[in-house]
Amino acid sequence: MKTKAAVLYQPNTPLVIEELDLTEPADGEVLVKISAAGVCHSDYHVMKGEWTSPMPVVLGHEGAGIVERVGTGVKNVKVGDHVILNFRPNCGWCGHCVRGQPVLCNGSETPKSEMFSGGSRLSRNGETVHHFARTSCFSEYAVVQESGAVPVRHDMPLDKAALIGCSVMTGVGAVINTARVEPGSSVVVIGCGGVGLNCVQGAQLAGADRIIAVDIKQNKLDYAMEFGATDVINSSNQDPIEIIHELTKGGADFAFEALGRTETIEQAYESIRPGGKAVVVGMAPEDDNVSINALSLPRNEKMLMGSYYGSARPWIDLPRLVDLYLSKRLRVDELVTRTYPLDEINVAYDALAQGDVARSIIVFD
């Protein structure tokens, strides 16, 4: 079959909108008609050449849609199901899966640019076009693994559901699943884009007492107040660490870094109290490193840890976030600042690069 998709041929070149060939779902795979896809920074790392990927590639890993067909052996997803795409489809049986950390499972031995059983389902004039994160939802249709398509309630709007698939899960999950923030805690969130705002609302959901949002853009700090921040610090013109230590009387219980930058990861670590947890949620370029004071680790029992995809157990957590949204305990509508058709995806990424938006989404017919 044919699918219109956005294709990246080379880093630092615009995505090309064109028609590709998509083969039928193989054993254990499902075909999803995409309804909406989020414009996330992770795809942008590949577009800028900061993350390596075989090319050409169809990006897009934050999406939702309706199951159109299923391959042989598929048991838990059926035609007509509304699904949120899980960009970490897992095998179900390895140590990570059995321990309850499925996002750490690579699913199979094949690279993430291929399906579990090997190869790509996408091509153009007989030439292979690669998958990204086994999702590739900047496309009208996508073939994904069964574990990568999580059924959700039919009353969940699919455009909002798309955002639950990455930014909401990543931000809220980092607070609730990874860090296990306790009621009454003080929480710092550095970087208030799509993921950071979800750390803010995750902290509110967890009952944090003080939620201090840090960003260099005033519009993002305004969003943070809407999402539950109690204090905001514009770090373009002042040092956030000193202010945080003053506000929290000696350092925050938790700090979440949602940008993936060396400087702000170090800031997050400096923001916490002895015994506090600094959690890196933002995704950095592949070759970046951070530097922290070594003695402060044992002497102050400080913790620096990472959170990938909100330590999600997607088949439990994505439907749970949908319930929280539908019972009005989670804001998703307010995250969406702009929507674009697929043809305007390069405009959407320019807006992301400028820091103009909380989140924009690509909406399909």
| Footprint of Zn ion (CB under 5 A) | 40, 42, 62, 90-91, 94, 97, 105, 166
66: its two tokens: 């309706």
Among residues 35, 41, 45, 199, the one annotated as catalytic is: 45
Instruction: Please state the closest distance from residue 90 (CB atom) to Zn ion, in A.
Output: 5
Strand pairing of 272-280 and 303-306?
parallel
Is 42 annotated as catalytic? Answer: yes
Instruction: Please state the closest distance from residue 62 (CB atom) to Zn ion, in A.
Output: 5
Q: Which of 148, 163, 233 is nearest to 195 (CA)?
A: 163
163: its two tokens: 């955002």
Q: Which of 96, 143, 151, 138 is nearest to 312 (CA)?
A: 96
Is 61 annotated as catalytic? Answer: yes
Under DSSP, is residue 226 helix (H, G, I), strand (E, B) or coil?
Answer: helix
Quote the CA–CA distance of 166 and 229 in Å, as a whole number.
Answer: 21
Instruction: Please state the closest distance from residue 234 (CB atom) to Zn ion, in A.
Output: 25
Is 199 annotated as catalytic? Answer: no
107 versus 276: smaller Cβ distance to Zn ion = 107
62 versus 146: smaller Cβ distance to Zn ion = 62
Among residues 35, 41, 61, 131, the one annotated as catalytic is: 61
Strand pairing of 272-280 and 252-257?
parallel
Instruction: Please state the closest distance from residue 282 (CB atom) to Zn ion, in A.
Output: 11
116 versus 269: smaller Cβ distance to Zn ion = 116
120 versus 145: smaller Cβ distance to Zn ion = 145
Quote the CA–CA distance of 229 and 214 in Å, as a whole number.
Answer: 10
CB 163 within 8 A of CB 62: yes
Is 40 annotated as catalytic? Answer: yes
Quote the CA–CA distance of 143 and 115 in Å, as a whole number.
Answer: 9
By annotation, the residues acting in catalysis are 40, 42, 45, 61, 166
